[in-house]
Structure 1
């Protein structure tokens, strides 16, 4: 299938070209840094892995940190409904699913996830800024396609279904993770249930499916580059996660892959 059949004929914009290149480079660098262990964004189980220097950085409770991560992007997505009220069905679908995704994340932070530690404030700001730029660009570039020639093959409704699969799968595995730890417990266990018997990060796998849903709804080159960038980063993150479990649990099953069953 030729890419021309599934992509918008976008305006010749230097902004779009720069954002595509920057997004891919930064995502690839972050993924490599995470996977190699040279630089971990300091949250979750990776917070205490390395040097004492990290302990001296400004920290906030993990729940507060994750609220900081998602809330600015949620606010800007909600504002786009007011800023671009006549964006068309595809624009409305894209803005809606991204808003739902972020609202789901905030609800999970408030009511699903369990926290026992803190998060580096600089990591919270870095991740929050990355999400803000990525989602704002995704929606704004969709706005720029208004009036452009539509793709020959319309994938937006398929994209909505793919998004639902990703969102449900992601939530389900987050829910399983939350049920592993009782209120009186603070340590980590080997996750079980769902796809955890095949990969250690099925929630990341479904996160990628969610972003693929965004891309299929949007059908812009930038949206597909965003999904590819997400793949780069989460490959590194999941590889680091599997390596961490192998180092902490002697009984960690070696047949459990990092992200993709039987492959990686």
Structure 2
């Protein structure tokens, strides 16, 4: 009975994961002409309720950190390798986003609706990733020594370093309470307008390679479909606002796009 229940649960989760891919692709199509209304793309009106940026980032990112942590406390014996992968990648990213990035950000207030939507996504994704790696994944004893595992982790850590460094550059472009936009320079910003997004996409690609699972691949596809267009619109924003914007700089992929 227990095995049958696990099979049914995993089949249900697979449906949700394919749904995640479809939502990402739908977002890619829907946002050809406009972006999610936060940050520089925010559209303010008297009807839009906003939340301070630091509080919004903290609340919306927290579920992705907290839910897998709670799943670890369940009496079901977790996969040891799955637990290590979760701690080395997913936990590490969302710890940084929840307890470091959110406290340091100087962004504009967030629309309440965007914050709630992001929090809902983080809740669902946190459960899907945590449940699979802890309770469904089956890794053999040689997994940690395989080429795919090590290349995936290397790519994840490299992407996270790019992401954190790029956020540092963006955060220090302006003085406290200053709201003007400036051209970012340094790091991968010398080559692309969305260096922070490139870093995060690389993170989740590395995560997908290291875990080699439908949940992680689904999350990577969703992340690419969400962050890729955002990098493009940031690039177009810079080109329209600054006549001196470097002509050789691309949107997301150095020298290509």
- TM-score norm. by structure 2 comes to 0.86
1:67 corresponds to? 58
Shifted more, 228-237 versus 155-164: the winner is: 155-164
Instruction: Please provide the CA RMSD for this pair.
Output: 2.5
Q: Give the Cα separation in 2 of the matches to 1:165 and 1:147.
A: 26
Counterpart among 150, 171, 176 of residue 178 in structure 1: 171
Mapped contact 1:34–1:240 kept (Cα < 8 A): no
1:7 corresponds to? none
Q: Deviations over 1:194-235 (max 9, x none)?
A: 011110011111101111222123211221122122111111
Counterpart among 201, 214, 221 of residue 208 in structure 1: 201
Deviation at 1:145, TM superposition (A): 3.0
Counterpart among 7, 22, 29 of residue 32 in structure 1: 29
SS of equivalent to 1:180: coil
Counterpart among 136, 143, 152 of residue 134 in structure 2: 143
Q: Give the Cα separation in 1 of the matches to 2:252 and 2:75.
A: 37
Q: Give the Cα separation in 2 of the matches to 1:242 and 1:84.
A: 48
The answer as to 2:246 corresponding to 1:249 is: no
1:221 corresponds to? 214
Deviation at 1:150, TM superposition (A): 8.2
1:42 corresponds to? 37
1:5 corresponds to? none
The answer as to 2:67 corresponding to 1:102 is: no
Shifted more, 76-85 versus 100-109: the winner is: 76-85
Report matched runs for 1:115-134 at 5 Å. 115=107, 117-134=108-125
Q: Deviations over 1:129-157 (max 9, x none)?
A: 11221122112122343457789856333
Q: Deviations over 1:104-137 (max 9, x none)?
A: 01211103x223x311001001011112211221
2:185 corresponds to? 192
- TM-score norm. by structure 1 comes to 0.84
Q: Give the Cα separation in 2 of the matches to 1:151 and 1:226.
A: 25
Rate the CA distance shift 1:156–1:11 in 2: closer, same or farther, 3 A. farther
Structure 2 residue ranges without an equivalent (≥5): 1-5
Mapped contact 1:215–1:227 kept (Cα < 8 A): yes
Rate the CA distance shift 1:156–1:119 in 2: closer, same or farther, 3 A. same
The answer as to 2:19 corresponding to 1:22 is: yes
Shifted more, 188-197 versus 251-260: the winner is: 251-260
Rate the CA distance shift 1:146–1:22 in 2: closer, same or farther, 3 A. closer
Rate the CA distance shift 1:167–1:147 in 2: closer, same or farther, 3 A. closer
Mapped contact 2:83–2:133 kept (Cα < 8 A): no
Mapped contact 2:24–2:226 kept (Cα < 8 A): yes
Equivalent residues, number: 247
Q: Deviations over 1:164-190 (max 9, x none)?
A: 111111101100111111125221111
SS of equivalent to 1:238: helix
Mapped contact 1:200–1:259 kept (Cα < 8 A): yes
SS of equivalent to 2:184: coil
Structure 1 residue ranges without an equivalent (≥5): 1-9
